[in-house]
Amino acid sequence: MRYDDFCAHFNKVYLCKIFPSIWSQYSIHGEWNGNTAGGPYPIEVNPEEENKEANVQNDTNDRWFNNPQFRISVTKKTNIIFSLMQEDEKVSKRPYIPVNFLVVRVKSKRDRLWEINKSDIVLEASEGLQRFG
């Protein structure tokens, strides 16, 4: 099939990774809905950049801590694969929503993160892409 024909007839490609049977799997079902849809972590605003464009307004939503949070404790070097998925919009009859996740290094045993030091962010899955206007 020519690439142009593929693009004309398909808009998504799904890949499946088969994991070895010795790997462990843990699945959690959750959703961003109502109070648990708190939006992205607030970005730090550079005061010099803030006033460059008067028509641009930064998202000041500070309810991000209501988003689902999960704690994983790792005691030795290991490989972890995170998968964040949404049900196909044709099946769910709901449009896709912008989602992202952060992996944050924490030492506290608190139940929930209320603040994050930028230096503790180990990984942001879609850095910069989660900020929708």
Whether the predicted model's global pTM rises above the 0.75 cut: no
- Determine phi and psi for 65, rounding to 5 degrees: -70, -10
**How much is the pLDDT for 101?**
84
**How much is the pLDDT for 120?**
85
Return the domain boundaries, the chain: 24-133
Q: Is the pLDDT of residue 56 over 60?
A: no
CA angle in degrees (0–180, nearest 5) for 47-48-54: 90
Q: Is the pLDDT of residue 82 over 70?
A: yes
Say how far apart CA 62 and CA 128 lie, in whole Å. 17
